[in-house]
Amino acid sequence: MTSLIRGGTVVTADQTYRADILCVDGKIAAIGPDLDAPTGAQIIDAGGQVVMPGGIDPHTHMQLPFMGTVASEDFYTGTAAALAGGTTSIIDFVIPDPQQSIMEAYKTWRGWAEKSAADYGFHVAITWWDDSVGKDMGDLVRKEGVNSFKHFMAYKGAIMADDEILYNSFTRSLELGAMPTVHAENGELVFQLQKKLIEEGITGPEGHPLSRPPAAEGEAANRALRLAEVIGVPLYIVHVSTSDALEEIKRAKAAGQRVYGEVLAGHLTVDDSVYLDPDWNKAAAHVMSPPFRSPEHQAALWKGLQGGALQTTATDHCCFCADQKAMGKDNFTQIPNGTAGVEDRMSVLWTHGVNTGRLTMNEFVAVTSANAAKIFNIYPQKGAVQVGADADLVVWDPELSKTISVKTHHQNVDYNIFEGMEVTGLATHTLSRGVLAYKDGDLRAVKGAGQYVKRPAFAAPFDALSKQAALHRPGPVKR
């Protein structure tokens, strides 16, 4: 398949220039002014538009079995919706049950993901520990192209990782050159507050944010960062939602730690007033963890993204429909946690980031694709417009507007947290490995066309960090 994208302005994380892009057999084959179209090539007119790397959403949960149900969006419907919004790759999560073989769980998720329409990779969660987990981590890194491991510091009694698990897994990650990542919330504190709120008769969704105060996130972020500091391993903190966690990241960075922060499009643009909605279904539809926060936290998150303390944007796309949310009708702790967004992330961030002047177009590319590709070691195969890179590209009309609505979205869920938001800046064409998967409202996603993307282990920076940690340690005292 050969396609020529003609007349657009190429925008990458570090350059803006006019050029045509030739895509051959899934790769970018040439970039330059006035390229000749090979015979039979499909011509895509990008006049007046920008052409960027397709988005990478580094945090999704397609068809996740969670809290007694299964997320409504599967790998096909979810990646198809992603393509409609200009996102061409996702990194999803394998979440083994405690005591389940992590390799067996990984194989299960790989099977589910075969129907993906866009490319995908996996972080693997470490929910328990013994020697077999450490051995499987080695096989996942060396043979399967997994270079990141996730730790849920919340969800006590289910998938929560305590400090012993964190210590063992962070240490093993360092040996392997893999990136530990954390969901930072103090799970014990959340559990105790949930019990207290229910006892006090607060059973509705308004109890959800009360049970997960910002300090619970700040404490966990600090604990994970301090463990990573002592072990000498980098750390990636997912869905940073508070200034409390952000301040810990800034402190650690200033102290020389290699730490990365992710922020969700939802946390940047939706505030915590949603939990006070008199309509139970609407309030419950917003139950996710960490919860939506006050405007003060949102302002801090934007500054963190603008200032570089936060490097990536994601959605934590994890869909549950109203009948699933209703499982927690009498008890907010039973409401399945999760909200959608994979389709809307790019346009929401363009509208609230680029159109407001908070982000340049180049910074937009950095935070929607290039930084994730670099942090998770798939750059420049992904996140770049370069000869030899995958032809994952989005042709973007900065003037095109729409109003986001559940009535028109492609996501397989009956609610949209951005409902009614007017966005300006939309994908007109999305190419996945050179194949046109979306064109002017026509979604042509192909079930199974997405490919698994191997992510190699890291080498040099990890060694440098552990050497630094070792430098400060004297040897045994001879007496």
**Closer CB to Zn ion, 272 or 316, in the complex:** 316
Residue 338 touches which of ligand URP, Zn ion, none (CB < 5 to 8 A by kind)? ligand URP
Q: Which one of 13-21, 65-73, 314-322, 409-417 is the stretch in contact with Zn ion (CB under 5 A)?
A: 314-322
Residue 92 touches which of Zn ion, ligand URP, none (CB < 5 to 8 A by kind)? none
**Closer CB to Zn ion, 183 or 352, in the complex:** 183
CB of residue 202 to ligand URP, shortest distance in Å = 19
Which residue of this chain has its Cβ atom nearest to ligand URP in the complex? 337
Whether residue 191 contacts residue 118, with contact meaning beta carbons closer than 8 Å, is answered with no
Residue 113 touches which of Zn ion, ligand URP, none (CB < 5 to 8 A by kind)? none
CB of residue 150 to Zn ion, shortest distance in Å = 8
Whether residue 239 contacts residue 264, with contact meaning beta carbons closer than 8 Å, is answered with yes
**Looking at residue 12, what DSSP letter applies?**
-
Residue 168 touches which of ligand URP, Zn ion, none (CB < 5 to 8 A by kind)? none
**Closer CB to ligand URP, 3 or 313, in the complex:** 313
Site residues (CB under 5 A) for Zn ion, limited to 167-196 = 183
CB of residue 183 to ligand URP, shortest distance in Å = 5
Element (H, E) at 92: strand 87-94
Q: Which one of 77-85, 99-107, 311-319, 321-329 is the stretch in contact with Zn ion (CB under 5 A)?
A: 311-319
Interaction between residue 344 and Zn ion (CB under 5 A): no
Burial of 227 (0-12, 13-18, 19+ CB in 10 A): buried
CB of residue 278 to ligand URP, shortest distance in Å = 23
**Closer CB to Zn ion, 150 or 429, in the complex:** 150
Interaction between residue 317 and Zn ion (CB under 5 A): no
Read off the tokens for 446.
């192909």
Read off the tokens for 290.
């960490």
Residue 288 touches which of Zn ion, ligand URP, none (CB < 5 to 8 A by kind)? ligand URP
CB of residue 287 to ligand URP, shortest distance in Å = 7
**Closer CB to ligand URP, 184 or 231, in the complex:** 184
Residue 337 touches which of ligand URP, Zn ion, none (CB < 5 to 8 A by kind)? ligand URP
Closest CA to 452 of 115, 177, 137: 115
CB of residue 183 to Zn ion, shortest distance in Å = 3
Interatomic CA distance for residues 385 and 468, integer angstroms: 35
Interatomic CA distance for residues 259 and 304, integer angstroms: 13
Interatomic CA distance for residues 46 and 9, integer angstroms: 8
Which residue of this chain has its Cβ atom nearest to Zn ion in the complex? 183
Contact partners, residue 385, CB within 8 Å, separation at least 6: 10, 12, 21, 28, 31, 51, 52, 53, 393
Q: Which residues pair with 120 in a beta bridge?
A: 90, 452
Read off the tokens for 163.
């400090």
**Dihedral sign (CA 305, 310, 311, 313):** negative
Number of chain positions touching Zn ion (CB under 5 A) = 2
Interatomic CA distance for residues 43 and 34, integer angstroms: 12
CB of residue 290 to ligand URP, shortest distance in Å = 8
Interatomic CA distance for residues 297 and 275, integer angstroms: 16
| Angle between helix 214-231 and helix 460-471 axes, rounded to 10 deg | 80
CB of residue 327 to Zn ion, shortest distance in Å = 19
**Closer CB to ligand URP, 147 or 289, in the complex:** 289
**Closer CB to ligand URP, 246 or 431, in the complex:** 246
- Do the bridges between strand 119-125 and strand 87-94 make them parallel or antiparallel, or are there none, so unpaired? parallel
**Closer CB to Zn ion, 119 or 316, in the complex:** 316
Interatomic CA distance for residues 236 and 253, integer angstroms: 12
Interaction between residue 316 and Zn ion (CB under 5 A): yes
Tell me the three state secondary structure of residue 152. strand
Q: Residues in the site for ligand URP, rule: CB under 6 A?
A: 61, 183, 288-289, 316, 318, 337-338
If one counts every other C-beta atom within 10 angstroms of the C-beta of residue 130, the result is 9
CB of residue 336 to ligand URP, shortest distance in Å = 8
**Dihedral sign (CA 229, 234, 239, 244):** positive
Residue type, 132: S
| CA-to-CA separations, 374 to 32, 67, 143, 260, 378, in angstroms, rounded | 25, 33, 20, 11, 6
CB of residue 246 to ligand URP, shortest distance in Å = 18
**Closer CB to ligand URP, 136 or 185, in the complex:** 185
Residue 74 touches which of ligand URP, Zn ion, none (CB < 5 to 8 A by kind)? none
Residue 374 touches which of ligand URP, Zn ion, none (CB < 5 to 8 A by kind)? none
Residue 235 touches which of Zn ion, ligand URP, none (CB < 5 to 8 A by kind)? none
Read off the tokens for 1.
């398949």
| CA-to-CA separations, 253 to 242, 369, 419, in angstroms, rounded | 17, 22, 36
CB of residue 316 to Zn ion, shortest distance in Å = 4
Tell me the three state secondary structure of residue 465. helix
Binding site for Zn ion (CB under 5 A): 183, 316
